[in-house]
Chain A
Amino acid sequence: MSMIQFDNVSKTYDDSSVALQDVSFSIEPAEFVSIVGHSGAGKTTLLKLLLAEEYPTEGAVLLGDQNINELARRDISDMRRRIGMIFQDFRLLPNKTAFENIAFAMEAAGKHDDEIESDVPYALELVGLADKAWKFPHQMSGGEKQRLAIARAIVNQPDVLVADEPTGNLDPLNTFEVVQILKKINDLGTTVLLTTHNKGVIDSLGKRVITMEKGRIVRDDAEGRYVM
């Protein structure tokens, strides 16, 4: 069974602009897949469909054996806990410390306090932020914020880690660090879905690459390079 499956998915927005057109692909467990394409190629729409932030006009999106678009509202938060998300703009909770940001994701998932006490330091350790546990996001650098976001995304051991342009705001050194962490997470068995503009990142990964253009998939290479 595939981890993620898009079946003939089309998405048309209300103003009749077409964001996705007949997109089909599947991602196996523990795969590392990058999606590349120009702005407006449909990468973001694709991720939004996966998180049930948007619904497809046609077709179906499956996570495991679950059709995401048929979930009741109250089941969506359960589904989202199976997906860890990181973003270009980090989206941390500004009034919470690094520790609390990670703990919040665990609390939301209903984890017990002793689990939180033991897992949060481990997640911070994994992204190299053990000494920043009591810093607030505004006291951290861009790279540190993104690593914190990764720690929060993986602490509940999600099936999939979705990274939407995670290096867009970072310098080359921090970009390298973040990509290394993503690889490490993938090696530990988590499916990773990455969207990016960064040629260097894609070429250094040497993993599967899906190339999108104007809402369609134009290439799907098992050991892809950045071709535009």
Chain B
Amino acid sequence: MFWINTKRILKAGFVNFWRNGFVSFAAVLIMLVTLFTLGSVVFLRAMLDTSLQELQAKVDVNVYFLTDAPEEDILTLKKSLETLPEVALVEYVTREQALAEFEERHADDQIILNALSELPDNPLGAVFNIKAREPSQYGTISDFLESAAALGAGQRVIIQEVNYFDNKNVIEKLSEIINSAETLGFAISIVLIVLSLIITFNTIRLAIYTAREEISVMRLVGAGSWYVRGPFVVEGIMYGVVAGVISLIIFYPLTIWLGPFTSRFFGAINIFDYYADNFGQIFLIIMGAGIVLGAVSSFMAVRRYLKA
């Protein structure tokens, strides 16, 4: 009996979806807007996240050593830096590497290269590029470096300059922007999603309002609650599935078209590559949201008219 009923409810849902063509069309259209918004929010957050990561990766503290700083002192400092929990990475650029990089950077500038070759010795000191795990931790690292420099003063000063103090304002500002961008993005996503949920819910309610007479007739003929409700819930799920498939299809050319733009604007990530790489996850999010939204809205809307 259960399977016969399930089969009949499914069939009735499909048939109603098809026969109520115009109502279905309207509901699918609204649902499409909702799911498209949801998808866009997913994409936007991904873009924002990666570009923030890119920005964060660009922040570092540079330590410039004196040209006559002995290498073993530098390596000792590197070791003690690496023991700090805040430090993610210490990149050691030796004097020779610094010179090579400098020459490469100015390969087109013959005057500077000539001036460089006039000098008796390599004028560049070794450099540390230090990355913290969190932007807020650069303060601690630079404090440590300061004390290390002071420590070194007893024996020998090896650090010429720590550029954190120049970058300090920029780094702090960036931390703030990153944090507020994430909060704002989250708030906007929530508002957009809630709005479209309300609109979809009301559209489906309106669609079922047009069928309220039908519902009372079904009750009078002696159909049980679930037998009346089932086909409407199936119809709601159909709205979700059709709208979900359409929005997934729309995202395909859209991301191809937007891909080059996003990779320029947000740094490394191309939105189409992101779509292709995470298709399974995005498919689940959009289809899942569509199905749940359609089913729950229909369920709640029919409940009103079942009471009679």
The chain A residue sitting closest to B228, CB to CB, is A108
Asked if B4 and A112 make an inter-chain contact with CB atoms under 8 angstroms apart, the answer reads: yes
Asked if B1 and A104 make an inter-chain contact with CB atoms under 8 angstroms apart, the answer reads: no
Contacts of A112 in B (CB 8 A): 4
Minimum CB–CB distance from B207 to chain A (whole Å) comes to: 12
A125 within 8 A of B: no
How far apart are the CA atoms of A105 and B8 in the complex, in Å?
Answer: 12
Please provide the chain B residues from 216 to 242 with a CB less than 8 Å away from any CB of chain A in the complex.
Answer: 216-225, 227
Contacts of B5 in A (CB 8 A): 110
Asked if B19 and A104 make an inter-chain contact with CB atoms under 8 angstroms apart, the answer reads: no
Contacts of A148 in B (CB 8 A): none
Please provide the chain B residues from 178 to 232 with a CB less than 8 Å away from any CB of chain A in the complex.
Answer: 213-214, 216-225, 227
With A78-B222, A105-B222: A93-B227 Cβ-Cβ less than 8 Å: no
Minimum CB–CB distance from B186 to chain A (whole Å) comes to: 43
B167 within 8 A of A: no
Minimum CB–CB distance from A77 to chain B (whole Å) comes to: 5
Q: Count chain A CB atoms within 10 A of each CB in B1, B5, B218 and give the residue with the most.
A: B218
Asked if A91 and B19 make an inter-chain contact with CB atoms under 8 angstroms apart, the answer reads: no
How far apart are the CA atoms of A156 and B216 in the complex, in Å?
Answer: 19
Asked if A91 and B217 make an inter-chain contact with CB atoms under 8 angstroms apart, the answer reads: yes
Given contact pairs A51-B220, A77-B223, A107-B8, a sample of 4 additional A-B residue pairs in the complex whose CB atoms are under 8 Å apart? A77-B222, A77-B224, A91-B216, A107-B223
Residues of A within 8 A of B (CB): 51, 53, 74, 77-78, 80-81, 85, 91-95, 104-105, 107-110, 112-113, 152, 156
Residues of B within 8 A of A (CB): 1, 4-5, 8, 15-16, 19-20, 213-214, 216-225, 227, 308
18 A-B residue pairs with Cβ-Cβ distance under 8 Å, sorted by A, are A74-B224, A77-B219, A77-B222, A78-B222, A80-B219, A80-B220, A80-B221, A91-B220, A93-B214, A93-B218, A95-B19, A95-B214, A105-B221, A108-B224, A108-B227, A109-B222, A112-B4, A113-B4
